[in-house]
Structure 1
């Protein structure tokens, strides 16, 4: 039995849940909130980060590593495309989303507007957010505008690259940030198509129910 540890609203936990859904795998989800881990959690996630996944006697952390493990370990719909070139491009975009994009979108905008007031009861540093929006986000979105497909998804079917990007932009939406349709029209349209994917709609319904249960 697969067990996923992490809090559902984390974009990286969201990414892993979507990967599990693509692979059509059943799993148990155990809520693990940063700062509230027990001692056993470090055994499965040495850096005490989420998500962490346990599959029988095997445990692994990091959403990108988990995605590739699931694709290697289990049959079913693939998370990575077919050709070597496409697989390399998918891995690059997965890492771009989790590194360069996340360092601004999550570490600044999402943290300041969502986590800072919600978890730490501290005021948002809106000046820092605006600087990130005006100076740091545009070059990242300019690049994504170039690689976003004019129609459909990045590859023939929903891939880990699509999922990685969708997971970040969902969190940005929760932080009241939307991609400017006039400035980045192709990226905006691509993200709209991602949000219309049945698995992503289902995931968002789960998250809404989770938030409601906190109420």
Structure 2
């Protein structure tokens, strides 16, 4: 059953390859909310889009005259606007934990995963700039392993990251691994088997899998 509350579908501006846009798309798919997907790159965005997004970043949510930039703010709104099924635990501590993982996924984890994708794919293919190989080596050798060590410890033997349920934490901690894979990197199954299995398991969920697959062909990294 569709849970959109307005006759006019809300719009989500952004690119299917963005991990932040993907967060919003997965949440809407999980809640069975219909929306209009408006492809919009933040690079060289027109003035009309910059009026919607003062930081010229994606995604942007537009619902009539109501406009929200920033994925975390959008997801907070979606959770209240379309509360079922919930993406945050009801109990205060696991709820706060899920929000923390959203912050971690969008900051330190994304620094590594999306950072590698940006260097290997976006810079050479869109911006026509050279890849900073030293930075990529640092992200692969230091930043990403530290994040995976921490997250593996947090996950333990659990199926989901927080509260025994699929939550915002699981979206935030797996979305950028789509970009990492496109950049030619996967989680080392010998070093982090539990986390590699976790990412694969979450990506395979029926509402998530089509969004994982929905990436342009040009985004795939090919080493010369």
Contact 2:27 2:75 in 1 (8 A): yes
Structure 2 residue 61 is the aligned partner of structure 1 residue 53: yes
In the alignment, what sits opposite 1:134?
141
Normalising to structure 1: TM-score of the pair? 0.91
Counterpart check, 1:67 vs 2:75: yes
Runs of 4+ deviating beyond 4 Å: none
Q: Secondary structure at the match of 1:81?
A: coil
- Contact 2:159/2:198 (<8 A) preserved: yes
Over the residues paired in the alignment, what is the CA RMSD in angstroms? 1.6
Q: CA deviation at 1:149?
A: 4.3
Describe how 1:16-27 pairs up with structure 2 within 5 A.
Answer: 16-27=24-35
Corresponding position of 1:145: 152
Q: Which digits, 9 at most, give the CA deviation of each residue in 1:19-62, with x for residues without a partner?
A: 11112111001111112322221222111110000122211011
Show the counterpart of 2:124.
117
Deviation, structure 1 residue 158: 2.2
> How far apart, CA to CA, are the structure 2 residues paired with 1:185 and 1:138?
13
Q: Distance in 2 between matches of 1:150 and 1:112?
A: 33
CA distance in 2, matches of 1:151, 1:197: 16
2:203 match = 195
- Equivalent pairs, count: 209
1:1-215 alignment, distance < 5 Å: 1-107=9-115, 109-154=116-161, 155-207=163-215, 210-211=216-217
Structure 2 unaligned segments of length 5 or more: list them. 1-8, 219-224
Q: Deviations for 1:131-167, whole angstroms, at most 9, x for unmatched residues?
A: 2211222211110110124242224432111111111
Residue 222 (structure 2) aligns with: none
Q: Which runs of 5+ in 1 are unaligned?
A: none
For 1:69 and 1:106, the matched residues in 2 are separated by: 25
Q: Which 10-residue stretch deviates more, 35-44 or 57-66?
A: 35-44
Structure 1 contact 105–168 (Cα < 8 Å) conserved: yes
8 Å CA contact 1:67–1:79 kept in 2: the answer is no
Cα shift readout 1:184-206 (whole Å, capped 9, x = no counterpart)? 12211211211221112111233
